[in-house]
Amino acid sequence: EDQVTQSPEALRLQEGESSSLNCSYTVSGLRGLFWYRQDPGKGPEFLFTLYSAGEEKEKERLKATLTKKESFLHITAPKPEDSATYLCAVQAPSGYSTLTFGKGTMLLVSP
Amino acid sequence: ETGVTQTPRHLVMGMTNKKSLKCEQHLGHNAMYWYKQSAKKPLELMFVYSLEERVENNSVPSRFSPECPNSSHLFLHLHTLQPEDSALYLCASSQDPRTNRAGEQFFGPGTRLTVL
């Protein structure tokens, strides 16, 4: 059974204080790992796709990396508008492969 | 309208009511999904439709009945719900679910459902 564990559950940062969110996964063959951002009262918003170990993707202050067992979402010099819940999901390789999500990390960036 | 829209945004219903949730996508995708999001739990996939054919049904109780009349519209018909069914119901769409692009899903804002 595919499993996704995100840590920490919640993270509070000061504006400009860089940090990382972790996503550990267990899947029988990884087709893709996905990061989403969810703001309160809204649906998740797609951020990144990572397909293989060693791959990195960047978008503004966010950088996602992937190893064979986990992914990190690095946040450099965060701003209050980066406050959101960040979700990680994995896609297994077979057939109509659907996503298995983690519970998310709630990030709060204070000015 | 752009992206994925859902109506209503909020719904309060009694356990004996029948109601329907509606989702519409304007992205030209051919797969649509229903998810349930409860506090402190991961997103739970309920149903997947590919080209209007249901291809996934994750052991969802029969009081939830999906309908996909075409590739742009998705409904979730609700009847005889329980209080534990109260949650945020999210609709999403994507490219063909048999491909890598299926993980790049576009979500609607959700319907906040409360069952009394």
pLDDT in tens, B66-95: 999 998 999 999 999 999 999 999 999 998
Which pLDDT score is estimated for B2?
A: 76
Which pLDDT score is estimated for A104?
A: 97
> Given CB atoms, is A111 within the 8 Å cutoff of chain B?
no
Widest CA span in chain A: 46
pLDDT, mean over chain B: 91
Read off φ and ψ for residue B103, nearest 5 degrees.
Answer: -75, -15
Which pLDDT score is estimated for B91?
A: 97
Of A43, A45, A97, the CB nearest to B102: A97
Q: How many helices (H) and strands (E) does chain A have?
A: 0, 11
Which pLDDT score is estimated for A95?
A: 63
What whole-number percentage of chain A has pLDDT above 90?
84
pLDDT digits (tens, 9 = 90+) for B21-55: 999 999 999 899 999 999 889 999 999 898 777 77
Residue bearing the bigger pLDDT, A93 or B7:
B7
* A32-38 and A84-91 beta bridge pairing: antiparallel
CA angle B76, A48, A32 (to 5 degrees): 75
| Beta-carbon separation of A34 and B50 below 8 A | no
Answer yes or no: is pLDDT of B1 > 70.
no
Q: Per-residue pLDDT averaged across A4-26, rounded?
A: 97
Q: In the numeric block, which tokens belong to residue A108?
A: 């709060």
Count other C-beta atoms under 10 Å from residue B62's C-beta: 7
pLDDT digits (tens, 9 = 90+) for A52-99: 999 999 999 999 999 999 999 999 999 999 999 999 999 877 666 688
From chain A residues 9-28, the ones with a CB under 8 A of any chain B CB are none
> Given CB atoms, is A89 within the 8 Å cutoff of chain B?
yes
B contacts of A31 (beta carbons < 8 Å): 100, 103
Of B40, B43, B102, the CB nearest to A101: B43
Count other C-beta atoms under 10 Å from residue A108's C-beta: 14
Which pLDDT score is estimated for A12?
A: 98
Task: Say how far apart CA B34 and CA B88 lie, in whole Å.
Answer: 11
Which pLDDT score is estimated for B66?
A: 94
| Beta-carbon separation of B103 and A42 below 8 A | no
Task: Say how far apart CA B49 and CA B97 lie, in whole Å.
Answer: 9
Chains A, B: CB contacts within 8 A come to 66
